[in-house]
Amino acid sequence: MSRRLVKRQDAASTSGSSQKNTMNNGKSTFGTVLDLPVMLDNTHNNFIPLRDQFVSLLEEFLQVPSPSGREEKMAALVRRHLDELGYAHETDGAGNISVRLEGRNPDAPLCVFAAHMDEIGVVVTHIEEDGILHVDRSGALSPFKIGERPLQFLGDDGSITGVLSFGSGHQSTFDQGIAWEDVHVITGLSKAQLIAKGIRPGSTGVPLAEGRGPILLGDANDPMVAAWTFDDRAGVIMQLQLLQLLKEQNLQPPSPTIIAFTIHEEGGCHGAKILAHREKPEIFIAVDGCPWKPHSGVEVNDLPTTWSKDRAAHYDQRLIKVLFQAAKNAGTQCQTAVLTNARSDASAVYDSGACPRMGILGHTRFNSHGFEVAKLNVFPNIVKTLVELFKLEW
């Protein structure tokens, strides 16, 4: 996988010939080369490479649009990295990608780890004759979260750029908030030109890559990273890093295992349910993020997060204890969340009756389903915890 260094944005990046904005392959980067010290009592000497590699891969994966139903470009990128790592993989009819790993106990029940490849966005509902698009949300996206910004719309025969628009700021009609019926997209094209590009009701759009990040901010000794969005590119990247470490350390999971990259989590967790109903795992673990909310039991910090309950179900409490032990073995610890207005691929699979046990592991982030912000050091801590989990018998 790519290990390119990325750039850092900070106060020092505003002056000096070596600190001015540059362009790499058409993408703007800022500041000085990432060189961040570790502030943890950490016995795992791969922490810094994991952290730097995560940011580098995040930069790469943020360039790829992947709204629900149009994950094919992201899937191609995932398959390319799997090929580079030397893993066999398969893609089912829905578009889910699976890597099958033999377990130390081949007769043990199947376990699935899953990160979803799709992202929130907008979907075209109507096209005016002058090329104005009317849109609605695809996934749990609010207009105030995405704001007025350029979007890339994926058509059947190409893509176009449009500007998500709310109208003039010199009016008072939005004092009570903005609903999707108040939103339109300016394309600069006629309806006929849009149709020629394959833009139609049902076409989906996401923010342009140039404005997605990642941005590194805060104290260089304990940095934060921000992007539109981690959900769930971060999980996809961490699973790729896990696979890399398993191969480098010649590790096997305790039971037969599938590392899955699923489609269409946003709006229904459909890919995970399709995979689980077919494979019938004993355990299903989502590798995904956790929204920060007051009084939910978690904070935005360097600690991996697992959920104890969400709106769909209670998570397997025995599995939570195993995750606690794996985190301890990795030199960190888990925090547990209780969420009333969220669910994961894992709880959706459990709720559908496709597995008897489920769990989740990931990061806690500010601004969920928006320009998300998390502690950078949490991501290598999650990967290390996953590696330690594979060493346990459970």
Asked, colleague to colleague, whether 36-119+229-391 and 121-209 share their fold, the answer is no
Residue 74 confidence (pLDDT) above 50: yes
The letter for the amino acid at 310 is D
Of 286, 254, 287, residue with least CA distance to 273: 286
pLDDT digits (tens, 9 = 90+) for 326-362: 999 999 999 999 999 999 999 999 999 999 999 999 9
Q: pLDDT (tens digit, 9 = 90+) per residue, 119-147? A: 999 999 999 999 999 999 999 999 999 99
Does the pLDDT value for residue 22 go beyond 60? no
Query: What CATH number matches the domain at 36-119+229-391, 3.40.50.300, 1.10.10.10, 3.40.630.10, 2.130.10.10?
Result: 3.40.630.10
* Mean pLDDT of all residues in 261-271: 95
DSSP annotation string for 80-138: HHHHHHT---EE-TT--EEEEE--SSTTSPPEEEEEE--B-EEEEEEE-TTS-EEEEEE
pLDDT over 90 (residue 3):
no
Q: What is the mean pLDDT of residues 294-301?
A: 94
Report d(CA 325, CA 7) in Å as an integer.
35
Q: Residue 97 has what DSSP assignment?
A: E
Q: How confident is the model at residue 174 (pLDDT cuts 50, 70, 90)?
A: low
Predicted TM-score of the model (pTM): 0.88
Around Cβ 179, how many Cβ atoms within 10 Å?
Answer: 11
pLDDT given for residue 303 in this prediction = 98
Q: In the chain, what are the domain boundaries?
A: 36-119+229-391, 121-209
Q: For residue 91, how many C-alpha atoms fall within 13 Å in the half-sphere facing its CB?
A: 13
- In the predicted structure, residue 266 carries a pLDDT above the cut 50: yes
CB 194 within 8 A of CB 154: no
Quick one: pLDDT at residue 171? 64
Question: Which architecture does CATH list for 121-209?
Answer: Beta Barrel (2.40)
pLDDT, residue 177, reads: 81
Measured distance CA(100)–CA(89) in Å, rounded: 7
